[in-house]
Structure 1
Amino acid sequence: MNRNNRLALLVLAVALSALLVVCLVGAAFVFYVYSSTGEPGMITSTPAARSTVAPPTVAPARPRAGQGQTLVLRPLGAPLTLDPHLVQDADSAEFVVHIFGGLVAIDENLKLVPDLAERWEISPDGRMYTFTLRRGVTFHDGKPLTAHDVKYSFERALDPNTHSPVANTYLGDIVGARDRLTGKAGEVAGVKVLDDSTVQITIDAPKSYFLWQLTYTVAAVVDRANIEKGGATWADRPNGSGPFRLVSKSSSEIVLARNESYYGSRPKLGQVRFLLTGPTMQRYETGDIDMVQVTGADIARVTDPRNPLNRDLQVADQFSLTYLGFDTSVPPFDDMKVRQALARAIDKDKLASVVLKGMASKADGILPAGLPGYNSNLRTLTYDPALAKQLLAESKYAAAMPSIVLSVMGSGAAPVGLPAAIQEMIRQNLGITIEIQLVQSDTFFAGLYAHKYPMFITGWIADYPDPYDFLDVLFHSQSELNHGGYASQELDRLLEAARVERDETRRLALYRQAEQMLVSDAPVIPLVTGRDYWLVKPYVKGVKRPPLVIPWLSGVSIEE
């Protein structure tokens, strides 16, 4: 879950008492939303209520009478959309992956597995994929799902009238995709229906990551009749094919129910209630909520082994990155030495351990630990104030530094948390004064795409476990998600070679070279990678929070 990934953008539970977190994915953006209110970051029409002091005891570890297989949970964020072809944040993706299905999916072991397609064949040249759909698969209303629905879904995602912010990023390798996006063609030439249960997709070159891209929500299969009948608000009543169906949606609560005709392993939960507003920890401690995402306001007590809440704590690392980005065409960030000086002036250990209260880990590179291609031997720009001063003195802006504005998504009278800490570190170590601009969430995305911000804080959470999803998607000179406009012919050469390299060892070696170049040139400064903190009642079984967005609720149950 922009995972843009968008998704970006899966839920990153890193918050301070004065720091809001909204995880926006694709595959994902991860965004910190800053405010002076101290509340969990929620994008709803109803403001979240301020938490009250928690009671001293925790409710008995047993399900509430009469609740059966109903799970009640309180995430930090709410979805911006339930239209899978428009999703670019992790909060939306969390819901969409449970409501819709695609040809392929990612399982809890982060393996690529069949979903709507029971099998596929790849041509010897690696360009043609022939998918055979499962027999008897249906939408939630019982209507058969066929190859014609698959073709319609790809063509709708790539229709310029859909205005998908991510279709080109994830589906652009399909032959004819860009002609459809630009309005030059009425259909996608590379998607063909062979019969009701067989669809063939042809891409422009052999690319080992292509099947992974089809796990993103923009490749989800939608019901044409549902969209045409529902009009602009069709996604408020989606007719998907995933393990859960939408029962109701409001600014305060979203309810999902099990899809009784699901083609895969049927979920054990009958219903899931997502509470989007109101007090959190108090309701967990009184037994009204089964799962709650932890913010920085409560991290000290839930990590204290002497506190009863600690027994319910589950922590999982994420494939996510929060970074400081620069528009490298704008002074002073067009000078590599200025960017390197800023990197050397920021103490990332303090950001992770003090500012973020240990709810994140220092990031040395672009790829998070555990992701294929991760390199623990990167030559990094470590914290070194003396060297930072030297680099700044060697830059072309040593005598006259232009004014610098740092843009972050948030609200409030004064900046706090991560941006305020970075502002102060740069002032102390380099003598540079930075102004912080807080931008409302409804305009921040547009500003990123329009390259309005010379300096900004944003983030990314993996859509799928492949280095392409970080290095190429975020930094190729022609990528729509390269928000700093960084352009390097050498980097493009490495990334383009990795796209078509079919030997995995050589492919990962190319990505390691690309990552080293990015870390050295510093078009962005990696700051932290995220961790997921949840409190889970002991009677809730099967919770395995993944490092990226997948339909994890399918394996959860309530112990009666």
Structure 2
Amino acid sequence: MTNKLIPTIISLILVCSLLVYYIPNGCQPVSEETQTTVGGDVLALYGIDPYTLDPALAGDATSSEYIQQIFSGLVCLDENLEPSPDIATDWHISGDGLVYTFKLREDVCFHDGKPVTAWDFKYSWERACDPGTGSQTAATYLGDIAGVDAVLAGESEHISGVEVVDDYTIKVTIKAPRSYFLYKLTYATSFVVDEENVLQGSGWWRKPNGTGPFKLWRWDEGNQLVLERNDHYDQTSSFKGVDFIIYELWAGVPMNLYETGQIDVATIGMTYIDKVIDPAGDFYQELTVVPVMSLTYIGFNCSQPPFDDANIRKAFSMAIDKDKLVSLVFRDTVTRADGILPLEMPGYDEDIEGIAYDIEGALALITASEYGAVDNLPKITITTGGWGGGISSDLEAIINEWRINLGVDVEVRQLEPEQFLYSI
């Protein structure tokens, strides 16, 4: 049984500064001279080391946060969560919904000033699907494209459904109409990478030549990661003037760092909630409440006892009082999940009803299962990610509910986050 803990539905953030968004502004050769010191307007944030900066390999939120700043793709999501132009200026979808023709901007370039063309996207997607790359996300995000399966299986080097019409036009054929196809292309797996950069070796992404609004200036593992503004981008939003973003890696408790002025933005955990929601407090005026479309869930290993029995899976689900978790553990900063899509996510259906909290019903299901009684259940271990042996307060509460409501003691196995995310 695995426990995937993802950020809560409502994020409480103390804000002094905000990130900057850019639109490309033409390609010019970049001087070999580089800035040697951080200067100008600087945004300081708390961070942890990314597992990877390779868009094809990223499967965790931390890596993706940096990759979104360093790289980009054909399309991105706008503020209404609709696909909008990024490197593509526009696109045409055939009447049968199978062929997407993208026109690329002719003024987009890599950080070194080299123009980005349709050939770069073809290379990037075929590389992501190459078994030798080892991507765990290519099948999910590119698998609708005709010919991807053959590349993933090692039967072809080229994706038959990707055709370069000219340097700034790429035609993509998918296997069947998919209304969500453009949404998939907003994920990092489909971002463009520089072939010359990749050919430098397995550690190429430590010196990435991306296309995003920021470029990697320095990465001192365990200490600091610094992004520098990409001057090939125009600052067109209201958040102008950020020259560098400094991530203070593993620097301590974000709230403490914020109080001492070491970072400009801090996400607030339950430990400090009272400190920031008090209208008379020092931090209330700096508090911003931001909806976060995310989900916390527990996954059962259906191939192993006792969760190979659907009655046991449902019983453990029914024994969790989600309303109590929301009110007591999360102090009403999250909402109860009744389905796999969070509030405000496109496709969310408020009429879907989740599994109700029912202790008697849960015990009856265990009796009706092939195991017949709690005493006949094998040892149960829940695997989670983290450091130092401590577990989150919500997981601790859930384990306690299983103990009280079902009479089941669950052991905890903790893995380092990278191992948990990429090996489970």
TM-score band by shorter chain is 0.7 to 0.9
Deviation, structure 1 residue 372: 2.2
Q: Following the alignment from structure 2 to structure 1, what is the Cα–Cα distance between the partners of residues 73 and 227?
A: 19
Corresponding residue of 2:242: 269
Report if the CA contact (8 A) 2:44-2:264 is conserved: yes
Q: TM-score, normalised by structure 1?
A: 0.66
SS at match of 1:232: coil
Give yes or no for the alignment of 1:418 onto 2:421: no
Aligned residue among 48, 52, 60 for 1:81: 52
Give yes or no for the alignment of 1:72 onto 2:78: no
- Supply the AA of the counterpart residue of 1:296: M
Aligned residues: 391
Corresponding residue of 2:267: 293
CA gap of 1:186–1:263, structure 2 versus 1, over 3 A, is: farther
CA gap of 1:11–1:217, structure 2 versus 1, over 3 A, is: farther
CA gap of 1:228–1:9, structure 2 versus 1, over 3 A, is: farther
CA gap of 1:379–1:261, structure 2 versus 1, over 3 A, is: closer
Corresponding residue of 1:201: 172
Deviation, structure 1 residue 379: 2.9
The within-5 A match list for 1:83-482 is 83-229=54-200, 231-251=201-221, 252-262=223-233, 265=236, 268-279=241-252, 280-399=254-373, 400-413=376-389, 415=391, 417-448=393-424
Deviation, structure 1 residue 173: 1.1
Q: Following the alignment from structure 1 to structure 2, what is the Cα–Cα distance between the partners of residues 366 and 352?
A: 17
- Supply the AA of the counterpart residue of 2:179: S
Deviation, structure 1 residue 109: 2.6
Corresponding residue of 1:530: none
CA gap of 1:223–1:413, structure 2 versus 1, over 3 A, is: closer
Kindly provide the CA deviation profile for residues 55-111 of structure 1, in whole angstroms up to 9, marking residues without a partner as x. xxxxxxxxxxx9752211224x43211111111011111111111111111122322
- Supply the AA of the counterpart residue of 1:69: D
Q: Following the alignment from structure 2 to structure 1, what is the Cα–Cα distance between the partners of residues 7 and 306?
A: 33
Report if the CA contact (8 A) 1:241-1:262 is conserved: no
CA gap of 1:162–1:276, structure 2 versus 1, over 3 A, is: same
Q: Following the alignment from structure 1 to structure 2, what is the Cα–Cα distance between the partners of residues 122 and 310?
A: 48
**Runs of 4+ in structure 1 over 3 Å off:** 8-15, 263-268, 356-359, 411-416
CA gap of 1:416–1:198, structure 2 versus 1, over 3 A, is: closer
Report if the CA contact (8 A) 1:139-1:241 is conserved: yes
CA gap of 1:442–1:95, structure 2 versus 1, over 3 A, is: closer
Q: Following the alignment from structure 1 to structure 2, what is the Cα–Cα distance between the partners of residues 95 and 413?
A: 27
Deviation, structure 1 residue 423: 1.6
CA gap of 1:413–1:159, structure 2 versus 1, over 3 A, is: closer
The share of aligned pairs that are identical, in percent, is 42
Report if the CA contact (8 A) 2:54-2:67 is conserved: yes
CA gap of 1:228–1:13, structure 2 versus 1, over 3 A, is: farther
Aligned-residue Cα RMSD (Å) equals 2.5
Corresponding residue of 1:59: none
- Supply the AA of the counterpart residue of 2:46: R
Q: TM-score, normalised by structure 2?
A: 0.85
- Supply the AA of the counterpart residue of 1:270: D
Report if the CA contact (8 A) 2:6-2:295 is conserved: no
CA gap of 1:431–1:286, structure 2 versus 1, over 3 A, is: closer
- Supply the AA of the counterpart residue of 2:212: G
Report if the CA contact (8 A) 2:118-2:168 is conserved: yes
Q: Following the alignment from structure 2 to structure 1, what is the Cα–Cα distance between the partners of residues 313 and 144?
A: 33
Q: Following the alignment from structure 1 to structure 2, what is the Cα–Cα distance between the partners of residues 10 and 96?
A: 18
SS at match of 1:374: coil
Report if the CA contact (8 A) 1:355-1:418 is conserved: yes
Q: Following the alignment from structure 1 to structure 2, what is the Cα–Cα distance between the partners of residues 411 and 272?
A: 26
Report if the CA contact (8 A) 1:410-1:439 is conserved: yes
Deviation, structure 1 residue 154: 0.8
CA gap of 1:416–1:275, structure 2 versus 1, over 3 A, is: closer
Q: Following the alignment from structure 1 to structure 2, what is the Cα–Cα distance between the partners of residues 290 and 446?
A: 31
CA gap of 1:366–1:416, structure 2 versus 1, over 3 A, is: closer
Deviation, structure 1 residue 319: 1.5
Corresponding residue of 1:526: none
Report if the CA contact (8 A) 1:83-1:96 is conserved: yes
Unaligned runs of 5+ in 2: 13-37
Report if the CA contact (8 A) 1:10-1:93 is conserved: no
Report if the CA contact (8 A) 2:46-2:251 is conserved: no
CA gap of 1:284–1:158, structure 2 versus 1, over 3 A, is: same
- Supply the AA of the counterpart residue of 1:156: R
Unaligned runs of 5+ in 1: 16-65, 449-560
CA gap of 1:92–1:11, structure 2 versus 1, over 3 A, is: farther
Q: Following the alignment from structure 1 to structure 2, what is the Cα–Cα distance between the partners of residues 176 and 191?
A: 8
- Supply the AA of the counterpart residue of 1:132: K
- Supply the AA of the counterpart residue of 1:257: E
Kindly provide the CA deviation profile for residues 447-483 of structure 1, in whole angstroms up to 9, marking residues without a partner as x. 42xxxxxxxxxxxxxxxxxxxxxxxxxxxxxxxxxxx
- Supply the AA of the counterpart residue of 1:308: D
SS at match of 1:365: coil
Kindly provide the CA deviation profile for residues 156-175 of structure 1, in whole angstroms up to 9, marking residues without a partner as x. 11111111110011001111
Report if the CA contact (8 A) 1:10-1:91 is conserved: no
CA gap of 1:220–1:201, structure 2 versus 1, over 3 A, is: same
- Supply the AA of the counterpart residue of 1:434: V
Does 365-374 or 354-363 show the bigger shift? 354-363
Deviation, structure 1 residue 285: 2.1
Q: Following the alignment from structure 2 to structure 1, what is the Cα–Cα distance between the partners of residues 357 and 78?
A: 38
- Supply the AA of the counterpart residue of 2:352: L
Does 356-365 or 208-217 show the bigger shift? 356-365
